[in-house]
Structure formats: structure tokens, C-alpha cells
Amino acid sequence: MASLRPLLPIAALLLLLLFLISFHSDPPPILSRTPSHPLDPLTFDEIAAIRSILVSYPPFAAPNQFPAIHSISLDEPPKLIVLRWRPGDPLPPRRATVTAYSPPGHTHLISIDLPSGRVLHHSNPSGFPFLTIDDMRRAIATALNDPSFLQSLNARGLSSSDVNCAPLSPGWFGSEEDHCRLVKVQCFAAAPNFYLRPIEGLTAIVDVDAALVIRISDSGPGIPISAGEDTDYRYSTQRNKPRSFSNPINPVSLEQVGGPSYFIENSHVIKWASWEFHLKPDARAGSVVSRARLRDPESGEWRSVMYQGFASELFVPYMDPSEGWYFKTYLDSGEYGFGVSSMPLVRLNDCPRNAHYMDAVFAATDGSPFVRPDLICIFERYDGDVAWRHAQPHIREARPKITLVVRTAASVGNYDYIVDWEFQTDGIIKVKVSLSGMLLVKGTTYQNLSQVPEGEDLHGTLITDNIIGVVHDHFLSFYMDMDIDGPDNSFAKFHMIKQETSPGESPRKSYMKVIGSIAKTEKDAQVKLSLYDPYEFHIINPSRTSGVGNPSGYKLVPSATAASLLDLDDPPQRRGAFTNNQIWVTPYNKSEQWAGGRFVYQGHGDDTLATWSDRDRGIENKDIVLWYTLGFHHIPCQEDYPIMPTVSSSFELKPVNFFRRNPILRAPPYTEVDLPVCSVMASL
Ligand SMILES: *[C@@H]1O[C@H](CO)[C@@H](O)[C@H](O)[C@H]1NC(C)=O
Ligand SMILES: *[C@@H]1O[C@H](CO)[C@@H](O)[C@H](O)[C@H]1NC(C)=O
């Protein structure tokens, strides 16, 4: 969920700044460069050229016919062409996909060929693209100009200039959401941290296209607005208060005396240790990792691991069925755009000093390109962890574990999602998600649990006076087009079961036995994780076997996660049906990338990963895509207030029988001469 404060200082300034950067300056030189890889994102100049093509495109050329541009992104060349391409070859024709919208109700999906300047396809699919900044602004202004909404604010002693409002997606529950594009506007009393001062129960249901308030729901008169005292999290306002630690921590930094060990070729190809991959920002997904390959230490051969990976969709249902809350069941990526919601990373704090930053170029609502600086950071990490070790009386060997992290941080309204793709020297790719930001809180008359009548469900935790942190879930579904040693792969499940011994066979009564099987069709690969019915899940290349005959593979290693408990027929769960299983495998299909569907805003959930997978297509020895949903249940607690310390979970893609032996056996250890000795000034 995203928020904006119309006509008011912080957001307005930020926007102004962005607009200044985007429209009134020449692009920085690095952004006007020409693309050099088939997967490179559209450049500043390319987006500007697409805008010109659209402006003179006959259906949009008449006065007032130009649609709102929701996104302009590279229409990637077919996978086969990308796989055949070699550095130095001419680039395949650059094409773009434009999603646009003409009110009321006309979504445009347009494919543009850049070399010829032609529109190749133009369709009007059903469904709505994610909200633009203009949509959000219009929805909020509409609510704040509505006399009865203002009256409800006035009844609470507030005027339109005393509030910050959030443009909330309404989900889909039936008839109301079928008629027009809706935004539910809820407001908060102004404060640096306004999310913690909800004006409870007051919602304007706005038809964004008509700029009309359809109705107002006010279930909250009498619920006080929290004072939000001491919730400003800026250091400038906190610095003179008692410190967090009795023993302050001295700053820590990783020094790389020899400089970084990665190379970035033509802005988007990252080479580090044995790894090489393409990396780009994306308006919807945040970041996209493509063509991840590594060089086999034994043979020197380049071996492919993953063609593409990204965060495909999120599902964030809140667990309060009341009028002001039931609809809060966000699909953040398809409703707000995970990439466009990512602000520049905070240098030295979001990413360490040794980080390199990558900028993004996105399209504004009028189609003009703008630069979002520092959207991705890339850095080498040494946490003091061990890569491998062994000690015995006369031999002690250990190796430090150094990794390469690719990080983005999306701020979708109140919440922040930090997504890391971490590449390890041992071939592991670890995907880690960390949550921070503000709770979405509910106002209440209660100031103490002792006031709550027995049996009343708060749907959350009373975290401070008059504030409930509402229980909710977060699910992130990751798309991973695995290409282990080539596109044709299979999904193998290794079931671990209890095997009982025969009478007299052994002093043991039982042991754990592993039974392997290959998933033939999509339904065989719909997996619900269970601790007491365990499996290992491998993506293997059946036509590439090791010297001893094992197929080359990578396994998916889940860690702490959560599954949705909503009814499968609950409208939010139908829209978030990609969370019905933790693992899915589908045949590669360029049109099936967004787990909740391409157009999810007010969508009915009829184009989700669950729909595709139920076709039960063959997936054996084919180009397949692995999907994993990482989940978090969140019962808020007092420490999540006023801003949450990060909560993380992760999963790994780990080589299994891919390398002949430990691929980092010959990595050298550190010695004294490798590392600088920095001395503390002698004033202590
Ligand atoms: C809140 O209730 C508890 C008992 O449940 C009591 O000990 C405490 O003093 C109360 N606090 C206030 C501020 O009333
Ligand atoms: C590819 O995906 C689209 C959208 O789901 C679907 O209509 C089409 O049938 C799929 N193609 C194949 C071969 O499965």
C-alpha cells in the first residue's frame, strides 16, 4: 500500500525533485548510452523515443486521447535468441511493452518495435494496471474535496490540511469492484510518522477515473486519534534522547585494500568469483537477475544455472474482517509496482561503503523517462562466517566465506521489503527477504488490555495507547527459470519416509529411507511443505550426468516460512492463489511470469499461477520454471513500534551433484599479509 500527501511538504518536495530530475535536465551520460546486451533495460533515450512514437500513433494522436502511461519496459527477445547471442554480435531488435490506460475502463497493452518506430500489436485486455502517482494523487484529492468526507474529518477536529492520506487498493469482493476503477482513501493525522495516527474507520470509496466519491464509510467516530508521541524515527529528532545501548558500537566497515573483486561490464553484466550474471532494475519486479552462469573450477566450462529470477508477486492479507479493514489484502507488485515503489538506497546504511549502485530509468505517467538513482546496490560481504573448515591434531584448515549481494528495498506505503540475491563461491544462490517499516495500525478506544471485554477479538496486539497492530501475512512469490546446464530440466522429489526393519534384520526398529521420483506434470509439482512428511526438491538436467552417474542439479532449500490459512474460496485467497502451495513448477511460457496475473488490480484471480498449473502440462525434461513462495505470519508486538526492526527469512538454490567435488576446496586461506592492520589512534 502506498501513501501520498497531496499539496503538502514532504511528498510534494520529493515529487518535485523527481520531476526536476526527470524533465528539466539532460540525462546523466551513463543513461544516454546505447544498450549492449539483449536484456539491457530500456535506456533514457529509448523511452523518450517510445514516447514520441506513442504521441504520433493515430489512436492516441487526437487531442485528449493520449492515455496514462503505467509502464514502459523492454519486451525481452525470445529466450533462444538471447541464449545464442554472444558479446560483439549485433543486438536483436529492441522492442518495448507499454501498459497504458484510457479512462474509463480501457487498458492498453502495446508492443513497439524501436528500429522501425512501429506499433506491432495493440490489445485491450481486461483488468487494470498498477496505480500511477497521478491516480493516487487524484484519488486523494477527490476524497479531500468531498463535502461529507470533510465533514467527517471536521467532526474529529481536523481539516484537509491536517491529514496525510493513503490510496488503498480495494481488492475484489464482487459487484462494487466490477464497475469502475476504485481507490479506497483512508487518512492519518499529520505527523512525521503519520502511519501511526490513523483516523480509524473513515474510508472514501473513490471512482478514480470519474474523480467521484461513490460512498463514504465511517465506522470509527469516537475512536481517538493516537497522539503518536515520540514516533518520529529521524535521527535528527531522536539524537538527544537516551541512547539505545549503554555501550555504543563503534562504526564497522569492510575494507578491501585491493578494491572490489567484481567487474561490471557495460553497466549490467556482473562478474564475480566463478559467477557471471545480468542484472537490471524493473518497474514491477524491483530487480531481475538473468543468465546466471558459473565457471566450473575443474573443466573451465561455463555452466548455466538460472535463466532468470525475480520477485513476481506479493500477497499481504490483513486479518480483520471489519468494514474498514476487510479489503486490505494487497498484491503489492501488481497493484503498486515493486520497482517504482523503491526509493534510492540510503548510502552507508542500506548498503555498506564498498557498495556499487545501479540507477533505474522508468516512465512517468506522460511517458517521459525519469531516473530513479541508486535503486540497486551490489557489494561483497564478509560476515566473519566460515566457508569450510576442518581441524584435527596436526592439521587445522578454515576458509572465510565471502559472498556477493545484490540488494533492492521497496517501500510500498508503510512497509519496506529488502530483497537480496546473494551469490556464494560454493555455487549457492541465497534469496533473502527482510521486512521493516511501519505496521499498518488500527485505532481503538482501549488504552490497556484490562479494558478489553473478555472474548473480544482485537484482531491484533495492543501495542501502545489506542493503537492495535493488526495481524497479517506477507507472501512473496519468486519466479526462477532454472536452466541447469541448459533449458531442458526435470523436477525431482526425494521423499524421506520411516522404513521399519524386518523382524530379526537389525537391532534397529526403523531408519529413514529416501525415495526419488520425477514429477511428470504440473500437479505432481504442487508442493505443500510439511516437517513430518519431508522431501528434498531438485531441479535436475537428466541428460547431463556426473562421472559416477548422478544427474547434474540444484536443490531448492526452504527455511522458515508460512502458509496461508484463508479459505481457498475467500476472494482474497483466489487472487493470491499462487500461495496455495509453497512450490510449483510450470513449463516456461513468456506470458506466465506474474504469479497473480498480469493485471491484478481489482482482478478476480482467474489468471494466477494456480490457474496455469491446474492445466497440468508436462514438465519432464522440458524448459521449466520453479516458483517458491516465502511467507511470514506477523502477530505484531510492542517492539515493532514505531518502526520495525527487520525480520528476515530466506531460501537457497544449492548445487547437488552439479560439481564433481567441493568447488571451493582450492580457495586460499587468509594470512596476515592479505589483510590490513588498521590501528586505533593512541589517545585511549
Ligand atoms: C493496565 O492494566 C494492568 C492490569 O492488567 C495494570 O497493572 C496497569 O497498571 C494498567 N495500566 C494503566 C496505565 O492503567
Ligand atoms: C502460455 O500462457 C498463456 C497465458 O497463460 C496461455 O494462454 C497459453 O496457452 C500458454 N501456452 C502454453 C503452450 O501453455
Contacts by residues 660-668 (CB-CB < 8 Å, ≥ 24 positions apart): 660/298, 660/546, 660/547, 661/298, 662/388, 662/426, 663/274, 663/296, 663/297, 663/425, 663/426, 663/427, 664/297, 664/387, 664/388, 664/399, 664/425, 664/426, 665/388, 666/297, 667/387, 667/399, 667/425
166-174 average pLDDT score = 96
Cα torsion 361, 363, 129, 79 to 10°: value is -50
Q: Whose CA is nearest to atom 14 of ligand 2?
A: 589
For range 333-359, the mean pLDDT: 96
Contacts of 484 (CB under 8 A, 6+ apart): 304, 305, 539, 540, 541, 544, 552, 553, 554, 658
Q: What is the pLDDT of residues 136-169, one digit of tens each?
A: 999 999 999 999 999 999 999 999 999 999 999 9
Q: For every residue of 583-612, which 3-state class applies, written as one string?
A: EEEEECCCCCCCCCCCCCECCCCCCCHHHH
Q: How many other C-beta atoms lie within 10 A of the C-beta of residue 447? A: 14
Tell whether 578 and 622 lie within a shared domain.
yes
As a whole number of angstroms, the distance between CA 364 and CA 361 comes to 10
Separation CA 315–CA 566 (nearest Å)? 12
Give the confidence band of 175 by pLDDT, cuts at 50, 70, 90: confident
The pLDDT value recorded for residue 559 is: 96
Q: Nearest CA to 367 among 42, 32, 7, 93?
A: 42
Ligand 1 centroid from CA 198, angstroms = 24
Cα–Cα distance for residue pair 51/70, rounded to 1 Å:
12
Q: Does residue 100 carry a pLDDT above 80?
A: yes
Atom 6 (ligand 2): residue with closest C-alpha?
591
Percent pLDDT > 90 in the chain is 88
Query: Using an 8 Å Cβ cutoff, are 514 and 459 in contact?
Result: no
pLDDT bin (cut points 50, 70, 90) of residue 35 is: very high
Ligand 1: which residue has its CA nearest to atom 14? 448
Integer Cα distance of 4 and 132 in angstroms? 12
| pLDDT at residue 169, as a whole number | 98
**Contact call for residues 131 and 601 (beta carbons, < 8 A):** yes
Distance CA 27, CA 32 (A): 6
Cis, peptide link before residue 58, omega less than 30° from 0:
no
* Position 8 pLDDT exceeds 50: no
Confidence at residue 240, expressed as pLDDT on a 0 to 100 scale: 85
**Rounded-to-integer distance, Cα 335 and Cα 333, Å:** 6
The answer to whether residue 2 is domain-embedded is: no
Q: Strands of 134-259 (E only): list them.
A: 163-168, 182-189, 202-207, 212-218
pLDDT digits (tens, 9 = 90+) for 460-486: 999 999 999 999 999 999 999 999 999
Contact by Cβ (8 Å): 254, 383: no
- 540 Cα: distance to centroid of ligand 2 (angstroms): 24
Whether residue 599 lies inside any domain: the answer is yes
Which position among 135, 218, 332, 640 bears the catalytic label? 332
Q: Which ligand is nearest to the CA of 449?
A: 1
Strands 263-265, 356-363: pairing is unpaired
Q: Spell out which residues line ligand 2, taking CB within 6 angstroms.
A: 589, 591-592, 612, 617
Question: Nearest bound ligand to CA 614?
Answer: 2
Confidence of residue 16 (pLDDT cuts 50, 70, 90): very low
Domain count across the chain: 3
Give exposure, 398-436, as e/b (b: 16+ Cβ within 10 Å): ebbbbbbbbbbbbbbbbbbbbbbbbbbbbbebbbbbbbb
Based on the fold, state whether residues 49 and 78 are members of the same structural domain: yes
Same domain, 198 and 298: no
Residue from 57, 330, 415, 641 carrying the catalytic annotation: 415
Q: Say if 566 falls within a structural domain.
A: yes
In ligand 2, which atom is closest to the CA atom of 617?
14
DSSP-based three-state secondary structure for 516 = strand
**pLDDT computed for residue 13 by the predictor:** 35
- Tell me, yes or no, whether 243 lies in a domain: no
pLDDT at 344 over 70: yes
CA-to-CA distance for 415 and 473, rounded, in angstroms? 12
For residue 440, the cross-strand partners are none
Give the Cα separation of 293 and 304 in Å (integer): 4
Helix axes 147-155, 133-144, angle to 10 degrees: 70
Q: Give the residue from 177, 207, 228 where a domain finishes.
A: 228
Place of cell 525481452: 76
Nearest CA to ligand 1 atom 13: 448
- State the average pLDDT over residues 599-622: 97
Q: From the CA of 597, how far away is ligand 2's center (Å)? A: 12
Give the pLDDT confidence of 533-583 residue by residue, as tens digits: 999 999 999 999 999 999 999 999 999 999 999 999 999 999 999 999 999
* Mean pLDDT, rounded, for 174-180: 87
Q: Is the pLDDT of residue 242 over 90?
A: no
114, 176: one domain: no
332 is catalytic: yes
Q: Report the DSSP beta bridge partners of residue 213.
A: 206
Ligand in nearest proximity to the CA of 608: 2
Examine the fold and report which residue of 201, 228, 255 is the final residue of a domain before the chain moves on.
228
Choose among 395, 401, 415, 392: nearest CA to 474: 415
Domain assignment of residue 336, yes or no: yes
The residue whose CA is least distant from atom 3 of ligand 2 is: 591
Q: Which bound ligand lies closest to the C-alpha atom of 609?
A: 2
Question: 492 forms bridges with which residues in the sheet?
Answer: 518, 538
Q: Who's near 319: CB < 8 A, 6+ residues apart?
A: 459, 460, 470, 471, 472, 473
CA–CA distance, 285 with 415 (Å, rounded to integer)? 16
Site to substitute for ligand 1 among 445, 447, 450, most atoms within 8 A of C-beta:
450
The CA distance from 329 to 402, in Å, is 39
Determine the residue of 445, 447, 448 to mutate for testing ligand 1's pocket, defined as the one with the most ligand atoms within 8 A of the Cβ atom: 448
For residue range 365-415, what is the model confidence (pLDDT) as tens digits? Answer: 999 999 999 999 999 999 999 999 999 999 999 999 999 999 999 999 999
**pLDDT at site 23:** 38
Residue 30 has pLDDT above 60, yes or no: no
Under the banding of pLDDT at 50, 70 and 90, the label for residue 446 is: very high
Whether the Cβ atoms of residue 130 and residue 601 lie closer than 8 Å to each other: yes
- Give the separation between CA 222 and CA 644, rounded to whole angstroms: 28
**For residue 31, what pLDDT band results from cuts at 50, 70 and 90?**
low
The grid coordinates listed for 114 are: 524501436
Between CA 188 and CA 203 the distance in angstroms is 11
What CATH number is associated with residue 51?
3.10.450.40
Domain hosting 119: range is: 33-123
**For the stretch 607-616, what's the b/e string if a residue is b when 16 or more beta carbons lie within 10 angstroms of its beta carbon?**
bbbbebbeee
pLDDT over 70, % of the chain: 94
- Whether residues 221 and 182 share a domain: the answer is yes
Q: Identify any residues that bridge with 163 across adjacent strands, giving them in sequence order.
A: 189
Pocket perturbation via mutation, ligand 2, pick of 126, 591, 612 by most ligand atoms within 8 A of CB: 591
Confidence at 28, pLDDT banded by 50, 70, 90:
low
Instruction: List Cβ neighbours of 255 (8 Å cut-off, separation of 6 or more).
Output: 676, 678
**Residues within 6 Å of ligand 1 by CB:** 448-450
Q: How far apart are CA 239 and CA 261, in angstroms?
A: 37
Q: Is residue 28 part of a domain?
A: no
Per-residue pLDDT of 193-219, as tens digits, reads 999 999 999 999 999 999 999 999 998
Same domain, yes or no, for 111 and 162? no
* Residues 561 and 626 reside in one and the same domain: yes
On the question of pLDDT at 647 being above 90, the answer is yes
Nearest CA to ligand 1 atom 1: 448
In a domain, 684, yes or no: no
Residues 640 and 514 in one domain: yes
Is residue 119 located within the same domain as residue 143?
no
- Tell me whether residue 253 is in a domain: no
For ligand 2, atom 13, the nearest C-alpha belongs to 589
Are 128 and 135 in contact by the 8 Å Cβ rule? The answer is no
Question: Do 176 and 216 lie in a common domain?
Answer: yes
Residues 166 and 308 in one domain: no
**Higher model confidence: residue 415 or residue 683?**
415
User: Do 48 and 83 belong to one domain?
Assistant: yes
Q: Rounded to two decimals, what is the model's pTM?
A: 0.94
Long-range Cβ pairs for the range 539-542 (8 Å, 24+)? 539/482, 539/484, 539/489, 539/490, 539/491, 539/492, 539/624, 539/626, 540/484, 540/489, 540/490, 540/491, 540/492, 541/484, 541/485, 541/486, 541/488, 541/489, 541/490, 542/488, 542/489, 542/490, 542/518, 542/621
Question: What phi and psi, each to the nearest 5 degrees, are found at residue 117?
Answer: 70, 20
Assess whether 415 carries a catalytic annotation.
yes
| Average pLDDT estimate for 96-105 | 97
**CATH number where 280 lies:** 2.70.98.20
Q: Which of 172, 203, 228 is the last residue of a domain?
A: 228
Mean pLDDT, the chain, as a whole number?
93
